[in-house]
Amino acid sequence: MTSSASPSFIYLASQSPRRAQLLGQLGVHHELLLPAPDEDAEALEAVHGGESPSAYVQRVTALKLDAAVARHARLGLPPAPVLCADTTVALGRAILGKPEDARDARRMLALLSGHTHRVLTAVALQNGKRRWAALSVSRVTFGPIGRSEIADYVDSGESLGKAGAYAVQGRAAAFIAHMTGSYSGIMGLPMYETNALLKSAGFKRQATPPCKTS
């Protein structure tokens, strides 16, 4: 890749439809750069013993970006910045990633019930040989959640594939008593930090059409 010209699009190395949606909200044209079936992307998310949540999420994001940049080179794709992000939920120093199954999801939500936890989303962008990174930390307080409420939520299927076993933009909003920080960061892509990285890389966002008035 080369960064000699201002890029007009980026590669998003994420399967998350929420991140794609948030990039679109920023007016960022992007193309997906997803792992091949033979790439073990889940292995990159393994937690190291004694690792803090912030160190973990930043390390995983860097590893995902390394893999995406190598994938870009291997495929011989046109040059453009590559963006990666990773989100984790932390209760104290305990890292709550994506639940393995419904039982694990119920366990996580029971832990979060009535407590304040952190949502950490790391973002990393590479353009040519240069790399930029940022970390967004938000705090979310859940009110008490009954066992039947947890069971109903998990049965909806919304908790699977989500860090901490919940989606802030979905039915889990009913559990949230208070939050501070970045709502988009809790969703999976903090727009303020992402926009700052794109500016650093010289990315030019698409112009937003003017609103029509009647």
Q: Which fold has domain 10-200?
A: Maf protein (3.90.950)
**pLDDT at residue 207, as a whole number:** 56
**pLDDT at residue 53, as a whole number:** 97
Using the 8-state DSSP alphabet, how is residue 181 labeled?
A: S
Asked if 159 contacts 166 with a C-beta cutoff of 8 angstroms, the reply is yes
Q: Where are the alpha helices (DSSP H) in 76-200?
A: 102-112, 147-155, 183-187, 191-200
Which residues are annotated as catalytic? 86
The pTM for the full model equals 0.89
In this structure, how many other beta carbons lie within 10 angstroms of the beta carbon of residue 33?
A: 21
**pLDDT at residue 5, as a whole number:** 57
Query: Cα 110 to the chain's mean position, in Å?
Result: 23
**Which residues lie across from 86 on neighbouring strands?**
122
In this structure, how many other beta carbons lie within 10 angstroms of the beta carbon of residue 121?
A: 28
In this structure, how many other beta carbons lie within 10 angstroms of the beta carbon of residue 75?
A: 9
DSSP-derived 3-state class of residue 104: helix
**How would you label 95-119 residue by residue, b for 16+ Cβ within 10 Å and e otherwise?**
bbbbbeeeebbbbbbebbbeeebbb
Q: What whole-number distance in Å separates Cα of residue 143 and Cα of residue 136? A: 23
**pLDDT at residue 34, as a whole number:** 92
In tens digits, what is the pLDDT along the chain, a chain of 214 residues? 444 456 689 999 998 999 999 999 999 999 999 988 777 777 788 888 889 999 999 999 999 999 999 999 999 999 999 999 999 999 999 999 999 999 999 999 999 999 999 999 999 999 999 999 999 999 999 999 999 999 999 999 999 999 999 999 999 999 999 999 999 999 999 999 999 999 999 887 765 544 444 3
The long-range contacts involving 2-8, CB below 8 angstroms and separated by at least 24 positions, are: 2/79, 2/128, 3/79, 3/81, 3/127, 3/128, 3/129, 3/130, 3/201, 3/202, 6/202, 6/203, 6/204, 7/79, 7/80, 7/81, 7/127, 7/201, 7/202, 7/203, 7/204, 8/80, 8/204
Among candidates 152, 140, 80, which has minimal Cα distance to 111? 140
